[in-house]
Structure 1
Protein backbone atom coordinates (compact mmCIF):
# COMPACT_ATOMS: atom_id res chain seq x y z
CA UNK A 1 0.00 0.00 0.00
CA UNK A 2 2.88 2.34 0.72
CA UNK A 3 4.09 1.96 -2.87
CA UNK A 4 0.61 2.67 -4.22
CA UNK A 5 0.45 5.97 -2.34
CA UNK A 6 4.08 6.90 -2.91
CA UNK A 7 4.60 10.44 -4.24
CA UNK A 8 6.92 9.00 -6.87
CA UNK A 9 5.54 8.59 -10.37
CA UNK A 10 2.90 11.30 -10.44
CA UNK A 11 3.50 13.15 -13.72
CA UNK A 12 2.17 16.68 -13.74
CA UNK A 13 3.00 17.17 -17.40
CA UNK A 14 2.08 14.12 -19.45
CA UNK A 15 -0.13 11.52 -17.75
CA UNK A 16 -3.39 13.38 -17.39
CA UNK A 17 -4.93 15.09 -14.35
CA UNK A 18 -3.45 14.06 -11.02
CA UNK A 19 -6.77 12.74 -9.70
CA UNK A 20 -7.00 10.39 -12.70
CA UNK A 21 -3.49 9.13 -12.05
CA UNK A 22 -4.36 8.33 -8.43
CA UNK A 23 -7.69 6.84 -9.56
CA UNK A 24 -5.83 4.50 -11.96
CA UNK A 25 -3.37 3.45 -9.25
CA UNK A 26 -6.16 2.43 -6.88
CA UNK A 27 -8.24 0.77 -9.62
CA UNK A 28 -5.22 -1.21 -10.83
CA UNK A 29 -4.47 -2.36 -7.27
CA UNK A 30 -8.04 -3.64 -6.94
CA UNK A 31 -7.96 -5.34 -10.36
CA UNK A 32 -4.63 -7.04 -9.60
CA UNK A 33 -5.71 -8.21 -6.14
CA UNK A 34 -3.33 -6.03 -4.17
CA UNK A 35 -6.45 -4.53 -2.62
CA UNK A 36 -9.08 -7.16 -1.81
CA UNK A 37 -12.82 -6.72 -1.27
CA UNK A 38 -13.40 -5.33 2.21
CA UNK A 39 -9.93 -3.80 2.53
CA UNK A 40 -9.99 -0.29 3.94
CA UNK A 41 -8.20 2.69 2.42
CA UNK A 42 -6.41 5.33 4.47
CA UNK A 43 -8.34 8.46 5.34
CA UNK A 44 -8.26 11.16 2.66
CA UNK A 45 -5.98 13.36 4.73
CA UNK A 46 -3.55 10.46 5.14
CA UNK A 47 -3.61 9.65 1.41
CA UNK A 48 -2.95 13.33 0.69
CA UNK A 49 0.03 13.32 3.06
CA UNK A 50 1.46 10.09 1.58
CA UNK A 51 1.05 11.10 -2.07
CA UNK A 52 1.84 14.79 -1.73
CA UNK A 53 -1.45 15.57 -3.50
CA UNK A 54 -4.10 17.94 -2.24
CA UNK A 55 -7.11 16.60 -0.34
CA UNK A 56 -9.33 17.96 -3.12
CA UNK A 57 -7.43 15.82 -5.65
CA UNK A 58 -7.62 12.73 -3.44
CA UNK A 59 -11.33 13.24 -2.78
CA UNK A 60 -12.04 13.57 -6.52
CA UNK A 61 -10.23 10.29 -7.25
CA UNK A 62 -12.02 8.46 -4.45
CA UNK A 63 -15.45 9.81 -5.40
CA UNK A 64 -14.95 8.72 -9.02
CA UNK A 65 -14.15 5.17 -7.87
CA UNK A 66 -17.17 5.16 -5.55
CA UNK A 67 -19.38 6.22 -8.47
CA UNK A 68 -17.94 3.32 -10.53
CA UNK A 69 -18.69 0.84 -7.74
CA UNK A 70 -14.99 0.04 -7.15
CA UNK A 71 -15.03 1.59 -3.67
CA UNK A 72 -17.77 2.05 -1.13
CA UNK A 73 -17.94 4.62 1.66
CA UNK A 74 -19.56 3.81 4.98
CA UNK A 75 -20.54 6.73 7.12
CA UNK A 76 -18.43 6.86 10.24
CA UNK A 77 -16.28 3.91 9.13
CA UNK A 78 -14.31 5.02 6.08
CA UNK A 79 -13.66 3.92 2.51
CA UNK A 80 -13.47 0.24 1.53
CA UNK A 81 -12.95 -1.86 -1.56
CA UNK A 82 -16.42 -2.91 -2.72
CA UNK A 83 -17.43 -6.56 -2.76
CA UNK A 84 -17.13 -8.17 -6.17
CA UNK A 85 -20.47 -9.01 -7.73
CA UNK A 86 -20.69 -11.77 -10.29
CA UNK A 87 -22.37 -10.42 -13.41
CA UNK A 88 -25.44 -12.38 -14.43
CA UNK A 89 -26.72 -12.65 -17.99
CA UNK A 90 -30.50 -12.65 -18.08
CA UNK A 91 -32.36 -13.76 -21.22
CA UNK A 92 -35.34 -11.61 -22.13
CA UNK A 93 -37.13 -14.45 -23.88
CA UNK A 94 -38.25 -16.33 -20.74
CA UNK A 95 -41.02 -15.45 -18.32
CA UNK A 96 -39.56 -16.74 -15.06
CA UNK A 97 -39.58 -15.53 -11.49
CA UNK A 98 -36.48 -14.29 -9.67
CA UNK A 99 -36.65 -17.40 -7.48
CA UNK A 100 -36.81 -19.73 -10.48
CA UNK A 101 -34.03 -17.90 -12.28
CA UNK A 102 -31.63 -18.13 -9.33
CA UNK A 103 -32.55 -21.76 -8.65
CA UNK A 104 -31.66 -22.59 -12.24
CA UNK A 105 -28.23 -21.09 -11.62
CA UNK A 106 -27.81 -23.08 -8.39
CA UNK A 107 -27.88 -19.95 -6.25
CA UNK A 108 -29.71 -19.30 -3.01
CA UNK A 109 -32.50 -16.72 -2.79
CA UNK A 110 -33.57 -14.46 0.05
CA UNK A 111 -36.26 -11.79 0.25
CA UNK A 112 -35.96 -8.88 2.66
CA UNK A 113 -39.54 -7.68 2.96
CA UNK A 114 -40.13 -3.95 3.14
CA UNK A 115 -43.92 -4.03 2.84
CA UNK A 116 -46.83 -6.44 2.19
CA UNK A 117 -50.24 -4.80 2.46
CA UNK A 118 -53.48 -3.73 0.81
CA UNK A 119 -53.85 -0.09 -0.25
CA UNK A 120 -56.03 2.28 -2.19
CA UNK A 121 -54.51 2.20 -5.69
CA UNK A 122 -52.41 4.99 -7.14
CA UNK A 123 -53.50 6.36 -10.55
CA UNK A 124 -50.77 4.43 -12.41
CA UNK A 125 -51.92 1.20 -10.72
CA UNK A 126 -55.52 1.87 -11.72
CA UNK A 127 -54.40 2.31 -15.35
CA UNK A 128 -52.00 -0.65 -15.45
CA UNK A 129 -54.27 -3.15 -13.70
CA UNK A 130 -57.60 -1.95 -15.07
CA UNK A 131 -59.05 -1.33 -11.62
CA UNK A 132 -62.48 0.12 -10.94
CA UNK A 133 -63.81 2.56 -8.38
CA UNK A 134 -63.44 1.20 -4.86
CA UNK A 135 -60.97 -1.56 -5.85
CA UNK A 136 -57.97 -2.25 -3.61
CA UNK A 137 -54.45 -3.15 -4.62
CA UNK A 138 -51.97 -5.54 -3.01
CA UNK A 139 -48.46 -4.09 -2.91
CA UNK A 140 -45.36 -6.19 -2.33
CA UNK A 141 -42.04 -4.41 -1.80
CA UNK A 142 -38.85 -6.35 -1.12
CA UNK A 143 -35.12 -6.52 -1.70
CA UNK A 144 -34.14 -9.64 -3.65
CA UNK A 145 -30.85 -11.21 -2.58
CA UNK A 146 -28.86 -14.08 -4.02
CA UNK A 147 -26.06 -15.75 -2.05
CA UNK A 148 -26.33 -12.86 0.40
CA UNK A 149 -25.83 -10.13 -2.23
CA UNK A 150 -28.68 -7.64 -2.82
CA UNK A 151 -29.43 -7.59 -6.55
CA UNK A 152 -32.80 -5.89 -6.98
CA UNK A 153 -35.61 -3.97 -5.34
CA UNK A 154 -38.96 -5.32 -6.50
CA UNK A 155 -42.22 -3.40 -6.12
CA UNK A 156 -45.17 -5.45 -7.36
CA UNK A 157 -48.83 -4.42 -7.51
CA UNK A 158 -51.75 -6.82 -8.02
CA UNK A 159 -55.50 -6.42 -7.75
CA UNK A 160 -56.82 -7.44 -4.34
CA UNK A 161 -59.17 -9.77 -6.24
CA UNK A 162 -56.08 -11.66 -7.43
CA UNK A 163 -54.15 -11.39 -4.17
CA UNK A 164 -56.47 -10.65 -1.23
CA UNK A 165 -53.86 -11.76 1.31
CA UNK A 166 -50.44 -10.20 0.52
CA UNK A 167 -48.90 -11.84 3.60
CA UNK A 168 -49.43 -15.21 1.90
CA UNK A 169 -46.51 -14.46 -0.44
CA UNK A 170 -43.34 -15.91 1.02
CA UNK A 171 -40.48 -16.80 -1.34
CA UNK A 172 -42.07 -16.72 -4.81
CA UNK A 173 -45.06 -14.68 -5.95
CA UNK A 174 -45.31 -16.72 -9.16
CA UNK A 175 -45.39 -20.01 -7.24
CA UNK A 176 -48.37 -18.74 -5.24
CA UNK A 177 -50.14 -17.48 -8.36
CA UNK A 178 -49.55 -20.84 -10.05
CA UNK A 179 -51.16 -22.66 -7.11
CA UNK A 180 -54.23 -20.47 -7.60
CA UNK A 181 -54.33 -20.90 -11.39
CA UNK A 182 -53.36 -17.25 -11.91
CA UNK A 183 -49.78 -17.48 -13.16
CA UNK A 184 -49.06 -15.06 -16.03
CA UNK A 185 -48.13 -16.52 -19.40
CA UNK A 186 -46.78 -13.42 -21.13
CA UNK A 187 -45.49 -9.99 -20.22
CA UNK A 188 -44.41 -6.70 -21.69
CA UNK A 189 -41.27 -5.36 -20.07
CA UNK A 190 -39.53 -2.02 -20.49
CA UNK A 191 -35.96 -1.40 -19.37
CA UNK A 192 -34.38 2.02 -18.87
CA UNK A 193 -31.27 3.43 -17.24
CA UNK A 194 -31.50 5.00 -13.79
CA UNK A 195 -29.21 6.59 -11.26
CA UNK A 196 -30.03 5.17 -7.85
CA UNK A 197 -31.24 7.55 -5.17
CA UNK A 198 -29.85 7.45 -1.66
CA UNK A 199 -32.59 5.21 -0.19
CA UNK A 200 -32.54 2.61 -2.98
CA UNK A 201 -28.74 2.66 -3.16
CA UNK A 202 -28.55 1.92 0.57
CA UNK A 203 -30.93 -1.03 0.16
CA UNK A 204 -28.74 -2.43 -2.64
CA UNK A 205 -25.45 -1.78 -0.84
CA UNK A 206 -24.05 0.62 -3.45
CA UNK A 207 -23.20 4.31 -3.54
CA UNK A 208 -25.93 6.88 -4.24
CA UNK A 209 -26.00 7.96 -7.87
CA UNK A 210 -24.50 4.77 -9.34
CA UNK A 211 -26.02 3.32 -12.49
CA UNK A 212 -28.96 0.95 -12.20
CA UNK A 213 -31.63 -0.56 -14.41
CA UNK A 214 -35.28 0.39 -14.01
CA UNK A 215 -37.58 -2.39 -15.19
CA UNK A 216 -41.33 -1.98 -15.55
CA UNK A 217 -43.35 -5.10 -16.33
CA UNK A 218 -47.02 -5.76 -17.03
CA UNK A 219 -47.94 -9.47 -16.98
CA UNK A 220 -51.00 -11.14 -18.47
CA UNK A 221 -53.13 -14.25 -17.93
CA UNK A 222 -54.06 -16.48 -20.91
CA UNK A 223 -57.37 -14.59 -21.10
CA UNK A 224 -55.50 -11.32 -21.69
CA UNK A 225 -56.33 -9.93 -18.26
CA UNK A 226 -53.52 -8.03 -16.53
CA UNK A 227 -52.45 -9.85 -13.37
CA UNK A 228 -49.28 -8.04 -12.27
CA UNK A 229 -47.71 -4.57 -12.52
CA UNK A 230 -44.13 -4.52 -11.25
CA UNK A 231 -41.50 -1.80 -11.05
CA UNK A 232 -38.03 -3.02 -10.14
CA UNK A 233 -34.57 -1.54 -9.75
CA UNK A 234 -31.60 -3.78 -10.56
CA UNK A 235 -27.95 -3.18 -9.80
CA UNK A 236 -26.22 -2.05 -12.97
CA UNK A 237 -23.01 -3.82 -12.00
CA UNK A 238 -24.73 -7.20 -11.62
CA UNK A 239 -26.91 -7.74 -14.68
CA UNK A 240 -26.56 -8.00 -18.44
CA UNK A 241 -29.85 -8.47 -20.28
CA UNK A 242 -29.71 -10.40 -23.54
CA UNK A 243 -32.25 -11.11 -26.28
CA UNK A 244 -32.01 -13.27 -29.37
CA UNK A 245 -32.88 -11.54 -32.65
CA UNK A 246 -34.19 -13.40 -35.68
CA UNK A 247 -34.72 -12.41 -39.28
CA UNK A 248 -38.44 -12.07 -39.91
CA UNK A 249 -40.12 -13.07 -43.15
CA UNK A 250 -39.48 -10.27 -45.59
CA UNK A 251 -35.97 -9.64 -44.28
CA UNK A 252 -36.63 -7.45 -41.23
CA UNK A 253 -35.01 -8.36 -37.91
CA UNK A 254 -37.40 -9.06 -35.06
CA UNK A 255 -37.29 -10.24 -31.47
CA UNK A 256 -39.68 -12.00 -29.12
CA UNK A 257 -41.53 -9.67 -26.79
CA UNK A 258 -42.14 -12.16 -23.98
CA UNK A 259 -39.85 -11.17 -21.17
CA UNK A 260 -38.58 -12.06 -17.72
CA UNK A 261 -40.89 -12.10 -14.70
Structure 2
Protein backbone atom coordinates (compact mmCIF):
# COMPACT_ATOMS: atom_id res chain seq x y z
CA UNK A 1 0.00 0.00 0.00
CA UNK A 2 1.37 3.47 -0.87
CA UNK A 3 2.77 5.52 1.98
CA UNK A 4 1.22 8.88 3.01
CA UNK A 5 1.76 11.94 0.87
CA UNK A 6 5.02 13.68 1.76
CA UNK A 7 4.76 16.98 3.62
CA UNK A 8 6.73 19.62 1.71
CA UNK A 9 7.16 21.70 4.85
CA UNK A 10 8.59 18.76 6.78
CA UNK A 11 11.05 18.17 3.93
CA UNK A 12 12.09 21.85 4.09
CA UNK A 13 11.68 22.26 0.35
CA UNK A 14 12.00 25.72 -1.12
CA UNK A 15 13.45 27.62 -4.05
CA UNK A 16 15.60 30.73 -4.38
CA UNK A 17 13.92 32.94 -6.94
CA UNK A 18 16.97 35.24 -7.10
CA UNK A 19 19.23 32.36 -8.16
CA UNK A 20 20.19 31.90 -11.83
CA UNK A 21 19.52 28.16 -11.36
CA UNK A 22 16.12 27.27 -12.90
CA UNK A 23 13.36 26.75 -10.36
CA UNK A 24 12.45 23.29 -11.67
CA UNK A 25 16.07 22.19 -11.29
CA UNK A 26 16.29 23.51 -7.72
CA UNK A 27 13.16 21.57 -6.83
CA UNK A 28 14.26 18.36 -8.58
CA UNK A 29 17.64 18.47 -6.82
CA UNK A 30 16.00 18.91 -3.40
CA UNK A 31 13.58 16.07 -4.04
CA UNK A 32 16.40 13.84 -5.30
CA UNK A 33 18.43 14.60 -2.16
CA UNK A 34 15.43 13.75 0.03
CA UNK A 35 15.07 10.41 -1.79
CA UNK A 36 18.77 9.57 -1.53
CA UNK A 37 18.89 10.46 2.17
CA UNK A 38 15.84 8.34 2.98
CA UNK A 39 13.60 11.26 3.93
CA UNK A 40 11.40 10.19 1.03
CA UNK A 41 11.36 6.40 1.31
CA UNK A 42 10.34 4.05 -1.50
CA UNK A 43 6.54 4.03 -1.73
CA UNK A 44 6.13 7.63 -0.55
CA UNK A 45 3.71 9.78 -2.54
CA UNK A 46 4.48 13.33 -3.68
CA UNK A 47 0.85 14.07 -4.47
CA UNK A 48 -0.28 15.44 -7.81
CA UNK A 49 1.34 18.41 -9.55
CA UNK A 50 -1.42 20.85 -8.61
CA UNK A 51 -1.16 20.06 -4.89
CA UNK A 52 2.65 20.20 -4.89
CA UNK A 53 2.68 23.47 -6.85
CA UNK A 54 0.20 25.03 -4.40
CA UNK A 55 2.23 23.93 -1.37
CA UNK A 56 5.45 25.33 -2.80
CA UNK A 57 4.05 28.43 -4.44
CA UNK A 58 5.28 27.36 -7.89
CA UNK A 59 3.62 27.06 -11.26
CA UNK A 60 2.34 23.69 -12.36
CA UNK A 61 4.68 23.54 -15.43
CA UNK A 62 7.68 24.12 -13.13
CA UNK A 63 6.65 21.27 -10.83
CA UNK A 64 5.86 19.04 -13.80
CA UNK A 65 9.36 19.60 -15.24
CA UNK A 66 10.99 18.90 -11.87
CA UNK A 67 9.07 15.63 -11.48
CA UNK A 68 9.81 14.62 -15.06
CA UNK A 69 13.52 14.97 -14.28
CA UNK A 70 13.08 12.46 -11.45
CA UNK A 71 10.99 10.18 -13.68
CA UNK A 72 13.76 10.21 -16.30
CA UNK A 73 16.26 9.18 -13.62
CA UNK A 74 14.03 6.31 -12.52
CA UNK A 75 13.56 7.70 -9.01
CA UNK A 76 9.77 8.20 -9.17
CA UNK A 77 6.89 6.97 -11.29
CA UNK A 78 3.51 8.46 -12.14
CA UNK A 79 0.70 6.06 -11.28
CA UNK A 80 -2.81 6.67 -12.56
CA UNK A 81 -5.21 7.19 -9.68
CA UNK A 82 -2.36 7.24 -7.17
CA UNK A 83 -0.05 10.13 -8.02
CA UNK A 84 3.70 10.44 -8.17
CA UNK A 85 5.38 7.73 -6.12
CA UNK A 86 8.99 7.25 -5.06
CA UNK A 87 10.41 4.03 -6.48
CA UNK A 88 13.95 3.98 -5.14
CA UNK A 89 17.10 6.03 -4.85
CA UNK A 90 20.32 5.55 -6.76
CA UNK A 91 23.33 4.72 -4.65
CA UNK A 92 26.32 6.94 -5.40
CA UNK A 93 29.39 5.27 -4.05
CA UNK A 94 32.68 7.13 -3.64
CA UNK A 95 35.74 5.45 -5.09
CA UNK A 96 37.51 4.77 -1.83
CA UNK A 97 38.43 1.71 0.20
CA UNK A 98 35.07 1.01 1.81
CA UNK A 99 32.53 -1.78 1.72
CA UNK A 100 29.17 -1.58 -0.01
CA UNK A 101 27.49 -2.59 3.26
CA UNK A 102 29.03 0.35 5.15
CA UNK A 103 28.25 2.80 2.32
CA UNK A 104 24.60 1.71 2.17
CA UNK A 105 24.26 1.85 5.95
CA UNK A 106 25.80 5.34 6.10
CA UNK A 107 23.35 6.50 3.42
CA UNK A 108 20.35 5.16 5.38
CA UNK A 109 19.65 2.52 2.71
CA UNK A 110 18.92 -0.44 5.06
CA UNK A 111 21.39 -2.98 3.61
CA UNK A 112 20.54 -6.67 3.64
CA UNK A 113 22.60 -9.66 2.55
CA UNK A 114 21.76 -13.13 1.29
CA UNK A 115 24.67 -15.57 1.10
CA UNK A 116 24.54 -17.62 -2.11
CA UNK A 117 27.79 -19.58 -1.66
CA UNK A 118 30.25 -19.88 1.21
CA UNK A 119 32.87 -22.52 0.54
CA UNK A 120 36.51 -23.37 -0.19
CA UNK A 121 37.58 -23.73 -3.85
CA UNK A 122 40.80 -24.09 -5.86
CA UNK A 123 42.20 -20.72 -6.92
CA UNK A 124 41.73 -19.93 -10.62
CA UNK A 125 44.40 -18.10 -12.59
CA UNK A 126 43.20 -14.53 -11.84
CA UNK A 127 42.66 -15.31 -8.14
CA UNK A 128 46.05 -17.02 -7.82
CA UNK A 129 47.72 -14.07 -9.53
CA UNK A 130 46.04 -11.60 -7.18
CA UNK A 131 47.22 -13.50 -4.10
CA UNK A 132 50.62 -14.51 -5.49
CA UNK A 133 49.96 -18.22 -4.90
CA UNK A 134 50.09 -21.32 -7.13
CA UNK A 135 46.97 -21.93 -9.21
CA UNK A 136 44.78 -24.58 -7.55
CA UNK A 137 45.66 -23.52 -4.00
CA UNK A 138 42.57 -23.60 -1.77
CA UNK A 139 40.98 -20.21 -1.13
CA UNK A 140 37.71 -19.17 0.48
CA UNK A 141 34.89 -18.10 -1.86
CA UNK A 142 31.90 -16.06 -0.73
CA UNK A 143 29.08 -15.06 -3.09
CA UNK A 144 26.38 -12.72 -1.80
CA UNK A 145 23.34 -10.79 -2.93
CA UNK A 146 23.31 -7.29 -1.45
CA UNK A 147 19.98 -5.48 -1.26
CA UNK A 148 18.74 -2.11 -0.06
CA UNK A 149 15.13 -1.26 0.84
CA UNK A 150 14.28 -4.87 -0.11
CA UNK A 151 15.54 -4.39 -3.69
CA UNK A 152 18.55 -6.25 -5.12
CA UNK A 153 21.52 -3.95 -5.71
CA UNK A 154 24.59 -6.07 -6.45
CA UNK A 155 26.04 -9.54 -6.77
CA UNK A 156 29.28 -9.77 -4.79
CA UNK A 157 31.89 -12.47 -5.40
CA UNK A 158 34.87 -12.42 -3.02
CA UNK A 159 37.90 -14.67 -2.64
CA UNK A 160 40.05 -14.61 0.50
CA UNK A 161 43.08 -16.66 1.60
CA UNK A 162 41.86 -19.79 3.37
CA UNK A 163 41.75 -19.42 7.16
CA UNK A 164 42.19 -15.63 7.09
CA UNK A 165 38.83 -14.82 8.73
CA UNK A 166 36.01 -16.81 10.31
CA UNK A 167 33.48 -16.43 7.50
CA UNK A 168 30.33 -17.85 9.03
CA UNK A 169 27.21 -17.45 6.90
CA UNK A 170 25.32 -15.97 9.85
CA UNK A 171 27.86 -13.17 10.30
CA UNK A 172 28.08 -12.52 6.55
CA UNK A 173 24.33 -11.91 6.47
CA UNK A 174 24.40 -9.37 9.30
CA UNK A 175 27.49 -7.27 8.63
CA UNK A 176 29.99 -6.26 5.97
CA UNK A 177 33.05 -8.28 4.94
CA UNK A 178 35.49 -5.44 5.62
CA UNK A 179 34.01 -4.96 9.07
CA UNK A 180 34.56 -8.66 9.78
CA UNK A 181 38.16 -8.36 8.61
CA UNK A 182 38.82 -5.36 10.86
CA UNK A 183 37.32 -7.16 13.86
CA UNK A 184 39.72 -10.03 13.10
CA UNK A 185 42.63 -7.59 13.47
CA UNK A 186 43.34 -7.04 9.76
CA UNK A 187 44.28 -3.44 8.91
CA UNK A 188 43.13 -2.64 5.38
CA UNK A 189 45.58 -0.28 3.71
CA UNK A 190 45.05 0.02 -0.04
CA UNK A 191 43.51 -1.58 -3.11
CA UNK A 192 43.84 -1.82 -6.88
CA UNK A 193 40.45 -1.45 -8.54
CA UNK A 194 39.05 -1.57 -12.06
CA UNK A 195 35.55 -0.31 -12.90
CA UNK A 196 33.80 -1.34 -16.11
CA UNK A 197 30.43 -2.19 -17.64
CA UNK A 198 28.74 -5.02 -19.51
CA UNK A 199 25.32 -6.48 -20.26
CA UNK A 200 23.49 -8.74 -17.83
CA UNK A 201 23.44 -12.46 -18.57
CA UNK A 202 20.19 -14.40 -18.10
CA UNK A 203 20.79 -15.73 -14.57
CA UNK A 204 22.24 -12.57 -13.03
CA UNK A 205 19.55 -10.44 -14.69
CA UNK A 206 16.91 -12.55 -12.94
CA UNK A 207 18.76 -12.29 -9.62
CA UNK A 208 19.04 -8.50 -9.91
CA UNK A 209 15.43 -7.98 -11.11
CA UNK A 210 16.66 -6.53 -14.41
CA UNK A 211 15.80 -7.57 -17.97
CA UNK A 212 18.31 -9.75 -19.78
CA UNK A 213 20.87 -7.52 -21.49
CA UNK A 214 20.39 -4.64 -19.04
CA UNK A 215 23.53 -2.59 -18.37
CA UNK A 216 25.57 -3.59 -15.33
CA UNK A 217 28.49 -1.85 -13.69
CA UNK A 218 31.42 -4.11 -12.86
CA UNK A 219 34.15 -3.73 -10.29
CA UNK A 220 37.23 -5.88 -9.73
CA UNK A 221 39.36 -5.14 -6.67
CA UNK A 222 42.42 -6.57 -4.95
CA UNK A 223 42.76 -5.32 -1.37
CA UNK A 224 45.99 -5.24 0.65
CA UNK A 225 46.66 -4.98 4.37
CA UNK A 226 49.27 -2.76 6.03
CA UNK A 227 51.99 -5.38 5.44
CA UNK A 228 51.37 -5.40 1.68
CA UNK A 229 49.67 -8.81 1.73
CA UNK A 230 46.70 -9.33 -0.60
CA UNK A 231 43.75 -10.19 1.66
CA UNK A 232 40.77 -10.05 -0.73
CA UNK A 233 40.01 -10.37 -4.42
CA UNK A 234 36.53 -9.12 -5.30
CA UNK A 235 34.57 -9.30 -8.54
CA UNK A 236 31.22 -7.52 -8.27
CA UNK A 237 28.35 -6.48 -10.56
CA UNK A 238 25.91 -3.66 -9.80
CA UNK A 239 22.59 -2.56 -11.30
CA UNK A 240 23.44 0.50 -13.41
CA UNK A 241 19.87 1.72 -12.90
CA UNK A 242 20.43 1.89 -9.16
CA UNK A 243 24.13 2.50 -8.75
CA UNK A 244 26.95 4.82 -9.76
CA UNK A 245 30.55 5.52 -8.76
CA UNK A 246 31.66 9.03 -7.79
CA UNK A 247 35.12 10.24 -8.78
CA UNK A 248 37.05 13.19 -7.42
CA UNK A 249 39.63 14.34 -9.95
CA UNK A 250 42.60 16.51 -8.93
CA UNK A 251 44.79 18.65 -11.13
CA UNK A 252 48.34 17.18 -11.12
Q: Is 1:90 the equivalent of 2:135?
A: no
Bigger Rg, which one: 1
Match of 1:224 among 228, 238, 251: 228
Offset of residue 89 of structure 1: 1.6
Offset of residue 165 of structure 1: 4.5
Secondary structure, aligned partner of 1:126: helix
The equivalences for 1:50-89 within 5 A come to 84-89=87-92
Secondary structure, aligned partner of 1:247: coil
Q: Distance in 2 between matches of 1:144 and 1:97?
A: 11
Size of the aligned set, in residue pairs, is 175
Q: Is 1:112 the equivalent of 2:114?
A: yes
Residue number in structure 2 paired with 1:126: 128
The equivalences for 1:9-88 within 5 A come to 33-34=78-79, 84-88=87-91
TM-score, normalising length: structure 1: 0.61
* Residues 35 and 91 of structure 1: CA distance in aligned 2, closer, same or farther (over 3 Å): farther
* RMSD of Structure 2 on Structure 1 (CA): 2.5
* Residues 203 and 180 of structure 1: CA distance in aligned 2, closer, same or farther (over 3 Å): same
Residue number in structure 2 paired with 1:173: 177
TM-score, normalising length: structure 2: 0.63
Q: Distance in 1 between matches of 2:233 and 2:183?
A: 19
Q: Distance in 2 between matches of 1:165 and 1:155?
A: 14
Match of 1:182 among 175, 180, 186: 186
Offset of residue 219 of structure 1: 0.5
Q: Distance in 2 between matches of 1:189 and 1:212?
A: 17
- String of CA shifts for 1:40-65, please: whole Å, max 9, x gaps: xxxxxxxxxxxxxxxxxxxxxxxxxx
Stretches of structure 2 that go unaligned for 5 or more consecutive residues are 1-70
Secondary structure, aligned partner of 1:163: coil
Stretches of structure 1 that go unaligned for 5 or more consecutive residues are 1-26, 38-82, 249-261
- String of CA shifts for 1:202-250, please: whole Å, max 9, x gaps: 11011010001111011111111111000000001111211111112xx
Offset of residue 32 of structure 1: 6.7
Q: Tell me: higher relative CO, structure 1 or 2? Use CA pairs within 8 A at least 6 residues apart.
A: 1
- String of CA shifts for 1:77-122, please: whole Å, max 9, x gaps: xxxxxx9331122111x21111211111112111111100111111
Q: Is 1:140 the equivalent of 2:142?
A: yes
* Residues 132 and 213 of structure 1: CA distance in aligned 2, closer, same or farther (over 3 Å): same
